[in-house]
Amino acid sequence: MGRVSGFLAALLERGDRARLILWLPVAFGAGIALYFDWPDEPPLRWGAYAGGAALTLVGLTRALGWPWRAALAVTFVAAGFLTAQIGAELQSAPVLLARIGPTAVTGRVTNAEPTERGRRLLLADVTIAGLDPARTPRRLRLTDRIAQNQDLAPGDRVRIPAMLLPPPEPVAPGTYDFARDAWFQGVGAVGFTLGRAERLASAESRAIATLRHHIGGRIREALPGSMGSIAAALIIGERAAIPQADLDALRDSGLAHLLSISGLHMTLVAGLVFALVRGALALWPAVAGRYPIKKWAAIAAIAGAAFYLALSGASVPAQRSFLSAAIVLIAIILDRNALSMRLLALAAMVVMTLKPESLLGPSFQMSFAAVLALIAGYEASRRWRRANPPRTWWQKALRYAIGVAATSLLAGGATTPFALYHFGRFVSFGVVANLIAVPLTGFWIMPWALLAVLLMPLGLEGPALTAMAWGLEAVMWTAHWVAAWPDAALLVPAMPRWGLLSATVGLLWLCLWVGRWRWLGLSLLAAGLASPATHRPPDLYVEAEMRQVAVRTESGGLAITGDPTSFTAEIWLRRDGLLAADPWPRSEERSGLRCDGAGCVARFGDSLVALALADRALAEDCREATLVLTRLGADRRCRGMTTVIDRWARHEQGAMAIWIEADGPRIETTRAYRGERPWVQAAQRPPPGRRTLSSAGRGRRGGPAP
């Protein structure tokens, strides 16, 4: 043990030893990730036992040097695991198990967010006609495209006719799990309205949600159309009403981060409040000469940033940005210097403790990755910047332009692995777009936004919002201009999980260490970025109710039954890095597919896959095909002859991804992938003792059919 300790001590340089503490939040996050990746829900006592054992080990090995640090890291892993367990347990609430409706829903409006084609209502304290209160969800989300012009404010109690459904499952194994996010948000059902809402009681509170609603209405009244929606996104965090064409342009140009209330916006708000308060107090000599006006300004800036955090909806990037800004301002109050990387580590610990589920989302991952890379780049260039201060105006302007470009490169490079994993998209010209848009946002748009909010109580916000809109129009022109360039956004196949892990560890290794061995992280980062090239996409996708099926064509594309522009089809295509689906043949052979009135067949090498639509086709398909897909109950007639996915298998297994291999089909299912977790409805779990399509052979998350 002494030799191991000596080797590690020699390997670490002096600067790296002081940064060991930065790896504790990483260990905490690893524990959270371990919980969510566990095959089935672990007993709550596991995390407590593991943490207690590791903490005991810390005490026993403290005298040995290095081993106690490893035990401390294990303690943080166990703490993260336990925190995620407790977070999931605290959200325990009824979840709708089956479709209900039409029915009358009564509840209190907590949010009424406009969308491009209506609005989205979030109801709490819900009662549902004909449903036992013990089985009624606490909150539900409704899409309203019928009576969206009816004004509803947070706090209103309403009765509304609606159709309700359980939170949807993933459309393929490993894709976005809406039901998991809904569980942690306390949402137990989704649906859509069937008529106008009847207001039973008007809102009386002056809560922040009501204030957000009124501010959003004032913004859209002064700036109708797209500019009003974008202004509302920057001020109160409501993005759903932004036209899809504008969202696509911002995404493909690398400017989508401007819509997320994050470090740029929070720093501008806190900095403006700090400068205004300190400047105003400095004009009062009797106060400026006797009292610490800098500290008073810091307190005002914290209050202003907190108000902006609440006003914007308190998203994960906004929480991280507020915590970072608040720690810097507290350091000013206490006459201390804030350590930037430790500041980020502390912010990450707080966010993960309060919302452990946020670790899995692109918002948390991309936000913290960008700031991590920026701080590391700032630290690495500090000595050069101090040795070469700008002296003339053009040197200062050039330094600023280089800083914006470097910021875009660092943040864009750090967030690329997470953009590839979650969205399958690589932005090529984000640096150019950010060179134009970031200065506009910092020096024009956000100051006018702050002034507009301050003038709203007086009803004088119109001119400020108009000036803000001029800057927004310039930003949107830049976004559409850059997004129209050839190959501005490249689609890539889904990054495998090991690729995301490799890229994450590589990025952390590169940014958290300061010694020469930090550069080893580049190899891990490069391996993660290259991992999509190793991904073999499935040969077939099957929707949970088999309303849609996707088949791999000879050209490598996907032919999809039904609507090729549906949400399910969009996820399948994006997962494979494809822009559009291949046409599905109707009565002819195309791309390896052949169809007639009874069904379709597709050939993969020596294997034949059949989609049986009519009962008369089953007998022939069961004799000749390697795999039969049908919405009929075909299990008895085909048993022992071939692999069959019929309506019973679909009900038990959910959506599927299928690979046709030499030794038979390899099938992964959403039910097996998700396991027995609190957010997986009881009706969606494989029955105990029942053999499932992926329970044999190659493991729980993918095996050959029995």
Enclosing domain of residue 520: 497-534
Last residue of a domain, one of 205, 233, 248: 205
Domain for residue 226, yes or no?
Answer: yes
Q: Which one of 205, 239, 261 terminates a domain?
A: 205
Residues 507 and 553 in one domain: no
CATH classification of the domain holding 178: 2.40.50
What per-residue confidence (pLDDT) applies to 213? 81
Strands 643-645 and 627-630: parallel
pLDDT digits 0-9 by tens, 138-164: 999 999 887 655 678 788 899 999 999
pLDDT per position as a tens digit, 10-44: 556 556 677 888 999 999 999 999 999 998 888 88
Nearest to 679 by CA among 31, 35, 30: 35
Better-predicted residue by pLDDT, 114 or 660? 660
User: Do both 610 and 698 map to the same domain?
Assistant: yes
Same domain assignment for residues 476 and 345: yes
User: How many domains are there within the chain?
Assistant: 5
Question: What is the rounded CA–CA span in Å between residue 245 and residue 230?
Answer: 12
Residues 447 and 570 in one domain: no
Does the residue 84 lie in any domain?
A: yes
323/671 Cα distance (integer angstroms): 38
Round the average pLDDT of the chain to a whole number and report it. Answer: 83
Band (pLDDT 50/70/90 cuts) for residue 701 is very low
| Residues 10 and 125 grouped into a single domain | no
The residue to which tokens 């003339």 are assigned:
392
Residue 95 lies in a domain: no
Which tens digit of pLDDT belongs to each residue from 451-505? Answer: 998 898 888 899 999 999 999 999 999 999 999 999 898 889 989 999 999 999 9
Residue 551 shares a structural domain with residue 687: yes
179-182 long-range contacts, CB within 8 A, separation 24+: 179/95, 179/679, 179/680, 179/681, 180/357, 180/360, 180/677, 180/679, 181/357, 181/361, 182/141, 182/679
pLDDT at 634 over 60: no
pLDDT at 441 over 80: yes
Check whether residue 143 and residue 249 sit in a common domain. Answer: no
Spatial contact of 445 and 404, defined as CB atoms under 8 Å apart: no
What pLDDT score does 502 carry? 96
Say whether 274 sits in a helix, a strand or coil. Answer: helix
Q: Specify the pLDDT at position 162.
A: 93
Is 70 exceeded by the pLDDT of residue 704? Answer: no
What Cα–Cα distance (Å) separates residue 266 from each residue in 85, 270, 319, 661? 31, 6, 10, 52
Q: Give the pLDDT of residue 62.
A: 64
Greater model confidence, 652 or 111:
111
**Would 397 be classed as within a structural domain?**
no
Assess if residue 54 is contained within a domain: yes
- List Cα–Cα distances, 80 to 38, 73, 179, 360, 600, in angstroms: 13, 11, 22, 13, 49
Both 148 and 82 in one domain: the answer is no
Say yes or no: 326 and 454 in one domain.
yes
Side by side, the strands of the sheet bearing 607-612 are 589-590, 593-596, 599-604, 607-612, 627-630, 643-645
371 in any annotated domain: no
For residues 116-130, average pLDDT: 88
Least confident range from 639-643, 645-649, 658-662: namely 639-643
Residue 351: closest CA among 378, 400, 318, 394: 318
Tell me, yes or no, whether 173 lies in a domain: yes
| Average of per-residue pLDDT across 283-306 | 89
pLDDT at 187 over 80: yes
How far are the Cα atoms of 223, 308, 420, 446 from residue 220, in angstroms, in the given order?
5, 19, 34, 17
Low-confidence winner among 57-61, 67-71, 95-99 (lowest mean pLDDT): 57-61
Predicted local distance difference test score (pLDDT) of residue 201: 84
Q: Please state, in angstroms and rounded to a whole number, the distance separating the CA atoms of residues 259 and 231.
A: 9
Of 170, 205, 240, which residue constitutes the final position of a domain?
205
Q: Does 104 lie in the same domain as 55? A: no
pLDDT tens figures, 564-608: 888 899 999 999 988 888 888 776 666 678 888 778 888 888 888
Question: What value does the mean pLDDT take over residues 622-641?
Answer: 72
| Whether residue 361 sits in one domain with residue 289 | yes
Q: Is residue 29 part of a domain?
A: yes
Position 663 confidence tier, pLDDT thresholds 50, 70, 90: confident
The two tokens of residue 469 are 């809109």
**Distance in angstroms (rounded) separating the CA atoms of residues 210 and 212:** 5
Same domain, 58 and 132: no
Q: pLDDT exceeding 90 applies to what percent of the chain?
A: 26
